[in-house]
Structure 1
């Protein structure tokens, strides 16, 4: 619409100028389109044919435009119309407005095409052990997709979803503070690990109470791993053992390999270290503890076409991919 800033056009039939104020709610882009068609064709009938309108509709819109401007725009000459001096002065502004609209539509269409192909996946740090493989397998089926990946802790993942920086999340227990649509696609086992030379590494059966005196390494409060740690002892009515907090599973693994303590950790994060004999999984009552992996998105913000395809891919093909990565016991959906 025409900007409501003060604009001066010559008034037809008079030698004085006319001030246009607050016309934004009266003059429309559609009127500008009709106006240009009428000027170019010099006929309301031909303008109507070009625009798929009736001649009376064109005539009515030009009458409204003239009334809003307070100026005569066309003089009739038989079946044709001739633009007045005011109309001629208005033409470049109308062309600019219509062209700006076309550019805006083009930008929106281009952006929408990009958004339709965009898949922004955020995953908890533990999921880095399989998330990239899932995305790469999806890319093979959908090479046109614009895949973007980010990795964060649990709170960071939830914040990215809430802020609209991600379309889909890969994580364990779904958040409670926001409504999500979540699909379970694989089991997520947690185990207790130690250095291979730790005295408990050779034990056949370890009671929970035996672990209370031991030093532990833990993730930050609120993380899935920390929740497993605390639930394991609270469930048995035991006090939490002394623990040192670390900011990543990688640091925890390094500390355990340095024989600094024990740690609960996702079995999906230690496959290579176990194969290399650098870590041992302890035989503890109540372990492993099985959780689930989910692919999810905000309920209030459904994902776009490509992101929906990714969700369906993870639901359908994710279990088989996880079995291939981690074996039949720890890679299957429930």
Structure 2
């Protein structure tokens, strides 16, 4: 059997940890700060790794660090190597009735409202684990799924990918909202036509919420009067509170994000049925802690969040 000797040149586990820090923090300076190292030290270790594989790990464009294809492959390998040690650590800990290791999650923006409430009880059960949580828009999270760095990814509309698998985890009803002093908020019954006549605040192109709204409108043969497009739920909520228009958002942004002066509008065609999914790469081997978390997600974690939705009558 032919044996690769590349490992003899790539370097130490510490260099791989530095590599992941640069990747996860998006730059040399941030990685150095997180690791309590100097920037020259981090840069030197990255150069050594690049020299070892015979290709640059990243490129700089207008102060923006972007990993090369070779760099991404090394990042994926570094995760596998370090996770192997984490699995050993977790397995040994499990033998002593402990759970240790690192759980890595990448989630889309809207799910950030409920994910901390999901993680809280899990981390209380296993206080020795570390959690790395990346929040981004749908396109950024899809890119991280392609890279296969994290254990799990959370989407409302998961990508169709042969190298990934998923479970439907939680209802994600999309509801119409307005300021409490808005004329529509005084009505006990509304139709979609009423909503279509109002200035509408829409999420950005590529957002899972926007995708669901547009699919729903096509099925109803309706169109909205979009006044503004925004890249976050918080911006939409504050704009609605400022009287700039109405919107449709995930019920979770009200359940966990605070309702303030917002009210749910009783539009008879709503809510839009949507769901949250936990997704993982089928090419990445799951750690012991990841297996435990997935089991928790499918049992008490799911019930915990569903109970909150029912309590808030969504």
What is the TM-score normalised by the length of structure 1? 0.61
State the 1:111 CA deviation. Answer: 6.1
**Equivalent in 77, 84, 100 of residue 112 of structure 1:** 84
Q: 2:216 matched to 1:232?
A: yes
SS in 1 for 2:220: coil
Partner of 2:278: 295
* Residue 188 (structure 1) aligned to one of 159, 166, 172: 172
State the secondary structure of the residue aligned to 1:303: coil
CA distance in 1 between counterparts of 2:162 and 2:143 reads: 10
Aligned to 1:160: 144
What residue number does 2:127 align with?
Answer: 143
CA contact (8 A) 1:174 1:180 kept: no
Q: Paired residue for 1:66? A: none
- Match of 1:161, SS state, is helix
CA contact (8 A) 1:178 1:298 kept: no
Residue by residue, what CA displacement relative to the aligned partner does 1:84-123 show, whole Å, maximum 9, x if unpaired? xxxxxxxxxxxxxxxxxxxxxxxx9876223662210111
Please tell me whether Structure 1 or Structure 2 has the larger radius of gyration of its CA atoms.
Answer: 1
Q: Hey, what's the Cα distance between the residues in 2 that align with 1:132 and 1:113?
A: 27
Q: Which of residues 255, 260, 265 is equivalent to 1:282?
A: 265
Residue 80 of structure 1 corresponds to which residue in structure 2?
none
Who is 1:28 aligned against?
A: none
Instruction: Report the alpha carbon displacement of residue 143 of structure 1 after superposing the two structures with TM.
Output: 2.8
Match of 2:294 among 311, 315, 331: 311
Counting only pairs closer than 5 Å after superposition, residues 249-264 of structure 1 correspond to structure 2 as 249-264=233-248
CA distance in 2 between partners of 1:322 and 1:147 (Å): 19
Residues 1:154 and 1:178: Cα distance change in structure 2 (over 3 Å): farther
- Superposed, 1:1-334 pairs within 5 Å as 112-114=84-86, 117-177=101-161, 179-271=163-255, 276=260, 278-328=261-311
Query: Are 1:134 and 1:318, in contact at CA under 8 Å, matched by a contact in 2?
Result: yes
SS of the residue corresponding to residue 284 of structure 1 reads coil
Pairwise CA distance, 1:322: 0.3
In structure 2, relative to structure 1, the CA distance for the partners of 1:110 and 1:194 (3 Å cut) is: closer
State how far apart, in whole Å, the 2-side matches of 1:262 and 1:110 are.
47
The question of whether the paired residues in 1 share the 8 Å contact of 2:163 and 2:283 is answered with: yes
- Counterparts of 2:141 and 2:135, CA distance in 1: 8
Equivalent position SS for 1:290: coil
Gaps of 5+ in 2: 5-79, 91-100
Paired residues, what number?
Answer: 226
**Ranges in structure 1 where 5+ consecutive residues have no aligned partner:** 1-23, 26-107
Q: Distance in 1 between matches of 2:270 and 2:150?
A: 34
